[in-house]
């Protein structure tokens, strides 16, 4: 059995399939894939956001709590847990390579490929598709990106305040058509890898798309699907617009949804290639995401440790396994570090991991593999490792800071308040005590706890350059 894992960044888990909150967003290829797969409806992160989730999904080991102080010089940013894979942890690619698998990685999630990172461990081939966000790929002059600046900023001459936008616009110079967009390049390259290597069976391919992470910059036709006739500014980074009008908010939403639909189109390209090569019946395909984002939920846009609700912390997790009944939904709690244990079990490989094989839930051999989940999200801080942590079970979501005294802990009764709007932390001290013990079991010390990782400044090169040349 071959293995393909597709990881999407900032892709909400309430879009794909019928009956979802955002099922009006067009995702025909992913909808079809979902109908052919097992859907884990209560999949959550373990350590988040970007690198933390991928590390646990690649190793089967928890990434939270933050505990390592590896060299990160040359890397940005320096949020807790934002570092390489520890040398004592085996990766899924290493495990499979030692068992004779051809292993390949294709992705544009540039954090994985930066200096001091080692997320390519175990991959016989890897292709870094350059150009996302502050990937320091291309340079230039402001005149070269003047049109993009005018389209994205109220005051284009103030571009030095927005280094991430400047670097992104430099990187995207020269795009001519849809095939030149980031996710198209990723999935085209992944399809080419399959073309070259599908007869080197068994094979393992990890495809990592940074889209639909911001900047939300789809081709115009994709945004038009969700808002027609707009003539204003496009705040492809949601934080650039300052106070936006209602029309600008609607356009921002259209940009995200358009990017989601663009990703769907190119995921479909890869899945079609797998079918065309005759590999559907001997290939296990896993589709997941690292987290979601707020899209005006609770009145806000974006994601982060201060909003540990399902639109942020829940993951897509679909597994298409030949011979398994299609369209099955599994409601038991699973987490990112269960992905490799589950995949390996389906390949007939046993490997000790902290994550657990979730397939007994599918086969009806277990009602659950855990009765709650603990999710740590890195919190930017001054010199010390901090996080906000959500511990979630069938009735409660408790959120509190770790590594510092949190003045505003939260508790939500999911049965009475499924939208998690009413903080009842002071009404249920027994529930709070139980949830705190669950967190303490993971961090190995009483709350608020202290983690030994440093969290120091690490600005992108473009940020330093613009600051030294008239910026802020």
Q: Is residue 226 part of a domain?
A: yes
Report the distance separating Cα 451 and Cα 353, nearest Å: 22
pLDDT of residue 405: 94
Q: Is residue 249 part of a domain?
A: yes
Q: How many domains does the chain have?
A: 1
How would you class 9 by CB atoms within 10 Å of its CB: exposed for 0-12, middle for 13-18, buried for 19 or more?
A: buried
Query: How distant, in Å, are the alpha carbons of 43, 73, 165, 380, 381 from that of 457?
Result: 32, 10, 20, 10, 9
CATH number reported for the structural domain that contains residue 180 in this entry:
3.40.720.10
Instruction: Residue 8: name the closest of 53, 47, 68, 46 by CA.
Output: 53
Q: Is residue 313 part of a domain?
A: yes
pLDDT of residue 471: 64
Q: Please list the pLDDT of the chain residue by residue as tens digits (472 residues).
A: 999 999 999 999 999 998 899 999 999 999 999 999 999 999 999 999 999 999 999 999 999 999 998 888 888 888 899 999 999 999 999 999 999 999 999 999 999 999 889 999 999 999 999 999 999 999 999 999 999 999 999 999 999 999 999 999 999 999 999 999 999 999 999 999 999 999 998 999 999 999 999 999 999 999 999 999 999 999 999 988 789 999 999 999 999 999 999 999 999 999 999 999 999 999 999 999 999 999 999 999 999 999 999 999 999 999 999 988 789 999 999 999 999 999 999 999 999 999 999 999 999 999 999 999 999 999 877 678 899 999 999 999 999 999 999 999 999 999 999 999 999 999 999 999 999 999 999 999 999 999 888 777 789 999 999 999 876 6
Helix, coil or strand: residue 280: helix
The domain in which residue 210 lies consists of: 2-370
pLDDT of residue 4: 98
Report the distance separating Cα 286 and Cα 276, nearest Å: 18
Q: Is residue 280 part of a domain?
A: yes
Other Cβ atoms less than 10 A from the Cβ of 200: the count is: 14
User: Which pTM was predicted?
Assistant: 0.97
Q: Is residue 353 part of a domain?
A: yes
Q: Is residue 434 part of a domain?
A: no
DSSP 199-211: TS-SEEEEEEE-T
Query: How distant, in Å, are the alpha carbons of 114, 217, 274, 459, 463 from that of 135?
Result: 9, 16, 30, 12, 12
Q: Is residue 299 part of a domain?
A: yes
pLDDT of residue 472: 60
Report the distance separating Cα 404 and Cα 387, nearest Å: 8
Instruction: Residue 274: name the closest of 381, 197, 331 by CA.
Output: 197
The answer to whether the beta carbons of residues 9 and 210 sit under 8 Å apart is yes
The answer to whether the beta carbons of residues 103 and 93 sit under 8 Å apart is yes
* Run of H or E residues at 270: helix 246-276
The answer to whether the beta carbons of residues 91 and 122 sit under 8 Å apart is yes
Q: Is residue 65 part of a domain?
A: yes
The answer to whether the beta carbons of residues 337 and 46 sit under 8 Å apart is yes
pLDDT of residue 241: 78
């Amino acid at each position: 059995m071959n293995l393909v894992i597709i990881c999407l960044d900032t892709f909400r888990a309430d879009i794909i399939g019928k009956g979802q909150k955002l099922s009006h967003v067009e995702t025909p290829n992913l909808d079809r894939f979902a109908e052919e797969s097992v859907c884990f409806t209560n999949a959550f992160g373990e350590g988040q956001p970007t690198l933390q989730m991928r590390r646990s999904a690649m190793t089967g080991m928890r990434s939270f709590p933050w505990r390592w102080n590896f060299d990160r010089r040359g890397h940005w940013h320096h949020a807790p847990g934002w570092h390489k894979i520890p040398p004592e942890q085996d990766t899924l690619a290493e495990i499979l390579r030692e068992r004779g698998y051809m292993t390949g990685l294709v992705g544009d999630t540039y954090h994985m490929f930066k200096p001091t990172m080692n997320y390519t461990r175990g991959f016989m081939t890897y292709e870094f598709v350059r150009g996302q966000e502050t990937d320091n790929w291309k340079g230039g002059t402001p005149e070269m990106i003047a049109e993009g600046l005018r389209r994205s900023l109220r005051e284009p001459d103030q571009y030095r305040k927005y280094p991430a936008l400047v670097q992104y616009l430099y990187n995207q110079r020269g795009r001519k058509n849809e095939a030149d967009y980031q996710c198209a390049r990723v999935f085209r390259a992944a399809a080419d890898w399959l073309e070259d290597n599908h007869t080197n069976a068994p094979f393992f391919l990890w495809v990592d798309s940074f889209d639909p992470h911001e900047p939300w910059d789809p081709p115009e036709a994709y945004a038009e699907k969700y808002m027609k006739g707009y003539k204003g500014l496009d705040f492809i980074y949601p934080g650039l617009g300052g106070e936006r009008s209602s029309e600008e908010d609607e356009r921002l939403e259209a940009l995200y949804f358009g990017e989601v639909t663009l990703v769907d189109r190119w995921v479909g390209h890869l899945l079609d290639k797998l079918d065309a090569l005759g590999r559907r019946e001997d290939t296990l395909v896993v589709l997941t995401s690292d987290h979601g984002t707020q899209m005006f939920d609770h009145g806000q846009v974006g994601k982060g440790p201060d909003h540990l609700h399902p639109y942020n912390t829940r993951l897509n997790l679909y597994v298409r396994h030949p011979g398994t009944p299609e369209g099955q939904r599994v409601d038991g709690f699973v987490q990112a570090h269960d992905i490799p244990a589950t995949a390996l079990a389906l390949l007939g490989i046993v490997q000790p991991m902290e994550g657990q094989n979730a397939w007994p839930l599918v086969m009806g051999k277990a009602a659950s593999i855990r009765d709650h989940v603990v999710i740590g999200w890195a919190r930017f801080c001054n010199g010390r490792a901090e996080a906000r942590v959500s511990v979630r079970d069938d009735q409660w979501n408790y959120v509190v800071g770790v590594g510092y005294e949190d003045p505003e802990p939260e508790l939500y009764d999911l049965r009475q308040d499924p939208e998690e709007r009413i903080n009842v932390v002071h009404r249920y001290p027994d529930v709070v005590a139980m949830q705190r013990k669950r967190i303490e079991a993971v961090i190995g010390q009483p709350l608020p706890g202290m983690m030994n990782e440093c969290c120091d400044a690490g600005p992108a090169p473009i940020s330093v350059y613009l600051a030294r040349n008239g910026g802020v």
